[in-house]
Structure formats: C-alpha cells, structure tokens
Structure 1
Amino acid sequence: MTEAERNTIREIFSTSCAVRRALGYLRPGPCTADSRHQKERSMKHARSLTVAAAAAVALLLSGCGGPPADGGSFANVTELKDAFVKAGGTCDNWSTHNKSILAATAGSCGDKYAFAVYDDMDNMATWVDTNRVMKLGGVVGKNWTISCVDPSPVHDKLGGELLPQK
C-alpha cells in the first residue's frame, strides 16, 4: 500500500469521533460521549464509516486508476499523444507526419518518441514483428504503437504490451 493510500485511509478514519476513540486517539471535548444514546449512535456511525473505509480501500487496491492492460485504442495519433501527456509523459517538438507507411496516422515528439495509430491490424502486426526481431523497444496497444529508447515508462503510463529492446 502506498503512502498516499495510507493517508487517504487515515483521513477517512479521522473524520469520526467514534473511530478516533476506537483507534485510541481520544480527544477531550465533543468526542467524549457521556450518555448511552450518544455512544450507541457513535458506534453505528463508526460501523458505517468502517464499511465506507473498507470500500474505499478496496477501490484503491483494485487499481482502478491505472492504465488499461491492453493499452486501449485511439482514433488518431494526436489523441494517443494527448493521452501520453495527460498520463505524465513529456512531448517536445510535436509534429504529425506520414513517415510510417504502415500506420494510418503517425507523429513524433522530436526524436524521443514515435507514435503511430493503425487502421489495418496486419500492418500493425508487421511493425510488431519487425520490432521484435530488431529488438528496438516499444509499446503496443490495441491499435497503436510507440517507439522509444526506454519503453518502460511509456508502458507504465499507458499500459499495452512492452516490447524489449537490445
């Protein structure tokens, strides 16, 4: 569990006096329930918060925010590049071009990343096979590829299949 996930759980649990009491974080003042009714109400509230916290933890641990395993698909190369940048990638000197005879649309971020989106899956398979034989490194999604020197960070951001390099 990451530190951010732990902090989220701490925030969830710290919102209830009953939970703070249950965790041993007793504080003077409104958190000390004197009457039986207040204690019962606090415990019901604590159970509700515990269920909500458990649900939140399950969502955090299920990886809902990560990239799709297959990398998803994109309508065009600009959409692919935008998803890469939104996921934390950097793209300097963006230009679209038709340098790839296999791809429907292609573009690059200077000489660091080459992006391609395919309409014809046979063409994409040709690119993948060539890349595997030459061990150039890259990432393959449902209908896209990205060529780069270090494909691991791209794979971490967008998902898809990681192709090894030399």
Structure 2
Amino acid sequence: MFRRMALLGLVLAAFLKTASAQETPPVYPRVAGYVGILHPIVTFSSEGTVTNFKNYYIVGLPTGINIWKSPKIGFSVEVVPLVQAENGASKVSNLLFHPGVLVNLGHGFTFAGRAAFETAGRYGFTPVLNKIVKKNRNSGYFVAVPIPVRFGNDHPASVTLGFQFGLAF
C-alpha cells in the first residue's frame, strides 16, 4: 500500500511539475512597450548624399507602444525626439510622430510599416525590419533597420538608411 501511494505521489508530482512548466499562451490584445536609440547613417536625395557623424551627429530616442491584436498583426505608435549635435552645441532638431502596422514574420522578425509626421515639416513613411536578438522572460533586446522616406517642406524627396537598437518590455 505504501509503495502504491509513493508511486502515485511521484507520478502526481511529475505531472504537476510538467503542467506548471508549460507557458500559458499570451492573451490578445497584448500591449508591449519599447525604448531605443536610432542612428540615421546616410541620406540620399537629389541634392546629394549626406552622412551622419561627418559634419554633425543626429541621434533619435524612440519610445513606443505596440498593441498586438493577434500573434500575427498589431498596431504601434512611436514618438521620436531627434537631437542634433553640431559645432559644440546640441538641440532637439525634430520630433517625429510615427504610427503604423506591425506584421510578425516569425523567427523573431517583425515588419513595421509606419506613417511619418515630423515637426520639421516633413512627412512620409518608414518601412522597418526588426529582429529580437535576445529574449528574456519579461523583456527582449532588438535591432532594427528603418528606411525613412520623406517629402515636403520645400526639400526634395529623400531616403535614409538607419540603424536602431533597444529594449522591448
């Protein structure tokens, strides 16, 4: 009798351990936030090619909220103050409002298609390819390649290649 009870106890303990070790699936809609650092690398337009880090340095500090409707699709809104350092002085040179749609591509990759509205008077869109490079229990580190396309404010259309990294939580 004692052996049967001990065996039953071991089986029950193994079952409970397995059941508790399984992750509960996420509930949708699911909200996540993130912060990051954005470095525009090079900008192309009919006026020529301009590189960051040469005559000045611009850095963006994106902060956003993602609302995932399902495991595959979501909505995101991002605000990005851009700080420019030049000739020994720095200033906030632009503020970007960046809403968009998120598409989970699998294997840690996400595509973000964003509309872009800048206080500098420019507007356009930004396709972004994002990859989670390290996933923790409650957060993850990511890298992203944004490609801003901008129009307006009496400037020619431009395309920029950027690099972004950050923390999602």
Considering the TM-score relative to the shorter chain, is it more than 0.5? no
Q: How high is the TM-score relative to the length of structure 2?
A: 0.27
Larger Rg, first or second structure (1 or 2): 1
In terms of fraction of residues, the more strand-rich structure is 2
TM-score by length of 1: 0.28
